[in-house]
Structure 1
Amino acid sequence: MEKIVNQKAWLLVLPVFVLVAFSAIIPLMTVVNYSVQDTFGNNQFFWNGVGWYKDLLDPSTELGGRFFASLWRNLLFSAAVLAIEIPLGILVALSMPREGWRVAACLIILALPLLIPWNVVGTIWQIFGRSDIGLLGYTLNLFGLNYNYVANPLDAWLTIIAMDVWHWTSLVALLCYAGLKSIPEAYYQAAHIDGASRWAVFTAIQLPKMKRVLLIAFLLRFMDSFMIYTEPFVVTGGGPGNSTTFLSIELVKLALGQFDLGKAAAMSIVYNLIVLIVCWVFYTVMTNVGTERRPETGGV
């Protein structure tokens, strides 16, 4: 007898599809439309085809030079914060207690930076790094380090990296702690019986079991760090000069500062594609490397 399938359940999902269409697909198509046109104001647009994309991907042009300069800054910043936050988050998770009231205390303390809005984080570090009233800036200058994130590009970079590490390492630590809590106690008992060292337990038991949560942590932190805008804009405004002008800040300058909607739209499309491609490549590599083949089992 043929089984009757009721497709009416899709009607329950229909409002979600409609909401996604209005909140994502339609704005995306609007940006695509802007990226192939040019405007001189008065809401008059002229067809430009792929002209903006050609300029954007050509480093010799003014638009391409700005794009690639901002892109390398973004990649450098993302690589720096990931190289610090992932190992530091693992170390914090390994140092956390496994039971008792201290667990709740540690979780609350780690969650506090994540609850602070991004613009407030930027304001905190903007004041914190000032040499006249900020604790960090005043202390460093007191020791003769001549710290000034407003005028020194290196100081500006170190400040925004320290700010991001302070803000988001807790997320990595919480994810890693969740992965550690999912490991059965029998694994540790077997390692203790075999006389395994602390490093052997970490590399053979804990790190493989944290692989999935580390993948999530890496993807979340890469996407957020690569699209960062509010914190560095509040602290440095993209300066000194253009030393901390990331793609997001460059995009806002084009769209709102210069009102070059076509250039900004093309840059935003390429910007989005870069994030999707990098995340897809990393996810594919992480899910394929180190996978163990299950041995074939025969019938009894």
Structure 2
Amino acid sequence: MKPYDNTGWLFVLPAIMVLGVVGLIPLMTVVNYSFFEIFILESRFWIGAEWYVEIITSSRFWGSFARSALFSMLILTIQIPLGIAIALCMPQRKFWVGIALAFIALPLLVPWNMIPALWLSLLDPARSLIGDLLPALGWPADWKSSEGHTWAVIVVMDVWHWTSLIVILCYSALTTIPASHYQAAAIDAAGPWQVFRHIQLPKLRHVLLMAVLLRFMDSFMIYTEAFPINAGGPDLATLFLAVDLGEEIKAFNYGPSAARSVLYFLIIVTVAWMFTKAQNKLDAHPDRPAP
């Protein structure tokens, strides 16, 4: 029997140390701040879990939570099917595949802080032809005063920016399917839906689970793209959790903002744990056909 050797941890140790410095130490600092009333960092007073109780019992927190959850559900409902559909429609020839992937990946190359500025420029009649044509299609000039129009802009903006990631992930999984599978399906006279359900979807399950997790975490804590659009308005209609946290930080409310950060971190960790359990179930039954 081969003796157990754990010297491999020596190679992982540098990465663990780096993660501890850039991740664990700041997290523990935030947790520490969340139990204090802080006027300045050098003057703080222990108040225990008061900030947590105040936040959890606040209707503003639960309203922001509901808006963030609704936004994430909308994003996943749109982006996952759209990304799968585009990946299935990708050209088969290698030359055109490269061009298509390069074109699809373009939105991912735009910096996050430039996304809202780009879309605000597109919607401005004085700056773009699209913005000049939108009023003729019924788009109001004062769209920022409308909750529905503001939500529509943020949702479409996020779909434009991040659907490319879903497409690339799905296409990479589809390319791993052997041609013999399609040949067998053709011999059995299987239709497109049967091919998708029994051949393509099983290969996509792991990738889709990862894509859903990544997109949920990012959309649930959206800030950089959402805040410049309408600063949480109108009437707090787009005041998501991260936007609310940003307002606390800008007001130098160290204690409340630290407590909010810890609560949001716990939410994300819980969701990530649930996805990990689902991933383990898929790994335990890798050959199980799709339902």
Superposition TM-score, scaled by structure 1 size? 0.89
Match of 1:17 in 2: 16
**CA contact under 8 A between 1:233 and 1:249: conserved in structure 2?**
yes
1:206 to 2:200 alignment: yes
Matched residues in 2 for 1:134 and 1:24: separation?
Answer: 42
1:17–1:279 CA distance, 2 compared to 1 (3 A) = closer
1:177 aligns with 2:176: no
- 3-state SS of paired residue (2:40): coil
Q: Say whether residues 1:245 and 2:239 are aligned partners.
A: yes
- The size of the alignment, in residue pairs, is 288
The one-letter amino acid paired with 1:274 is: I
Task: Show the 5 A alignment for 1:188-203.
Answer: 188-203=182-197
Query: Does the alignment pair 1:265 with 2:258?
Result: yes
Structure 1 pair 48/11, CA: closer, same or farther in 2 (3 Å)?
same
Q: Indicate the larger mover: 136-145 or 187-196.
A: 136-145
Letter in 1 for 2:271: V
Alpha-carbon contact 1:137-1:148 (below 8 Å) kept: no
SS in 2 for 1:196: coil
Q: Provide the C-alpha distance between the structure 2 equivalents of 1:294 and 1:126, rounded to a whole number of angstroms.
A: 47
The answer for the alignment partner of 2:132 in structure 1 is 138
CA distance in 2, matches of 1:260, 1:226: 22
Q: Does 1:88 align with 2:87?
A: no
Shift in Å, 1:130: 2.2
User: Does the CA contact (< 8 Å) of 1:251 and 1:268 recur in 2?
Assistant: yes
User: Is the Cα–Cα contact under 8 Å of residues 130 and 148 in structure 1 kept in the other structure?
Assistant: no
How far did 1:225 drift? Answer: 0.6
Distance 1:119 1:194 in 2: 51
- Quote the offset at 1:32 in angstroms: 0.4
Aligned-partner residue type, residue 264 of structure 1: S
1:231-288, Cα deviation, whole Å (9 max, x unpaired): 111222222231111111111111222x211111111101011111123224424653
Please say if residues 206 and 282 of structure 2, whose CA atoms lie closer than 8 Å, have aligned partners that are also in contact.
Answer: no
Report the aligned-residue RMSD: 2.3
Q: Which of 95, 98, 105 is 1:101 aligned to?
A: 95
Secondary structure, counterpart of 1:229 in structure 2: coil
2:272 maps to what in 1? 279
Q: Deviations over 1:45-90 (max 9, x none)?
A: 00011111111111xxxxx222111111110110001100000000
**Residue number in structure 2 paired with 1:51:** 50
Offset of 1:16 from its aligned partner? 2.1
The answer (yes or no) to whether the contact 1:34–1:262 under 8 Å persists in 2 is: yes
Counterpart-to-counterpart distance in 2, 1:12 and 1:284: 27
Deviation sequence 1:157-199 (CA, Å, 0-9, x none): 0000000000000100010001110001111000000000111
- In structure 2, the CA distance between the partners of 1:152 and 1:183, relative to structure 1 (3 Å rule), is same
**Alignment partner of 1:67 is 2:66:** no
Question: SS in structure 2 opposite 1:150?
Answer: helix
Identity of aligned residues (%): 43
Q: TM-score, normalised by structure 2?
A: 0.92
Mapped to 1, the partners of 2:226 and 2:49 lie a distance apart of 31
Cα separation, 1, equivalents of 2:109 and 2:287: 42
Where does the alignment leave 5 or more consecutive residues of structure 1 unmatched? 59-63, 296-300
Aligned to 1:298: none
Amino acid at match of 1:123: A
CA positional deviation for 1:144: 3.2
CA distance in 2 between partners of 1:11 and 1:209 (Å): 35
**Within the alignment, does 1:39 sit opposite 2:38 as a pair?**
yes
Cross-structure match for 1:61: none
2: CA distance, partners of 1:291 / 1:197: 29
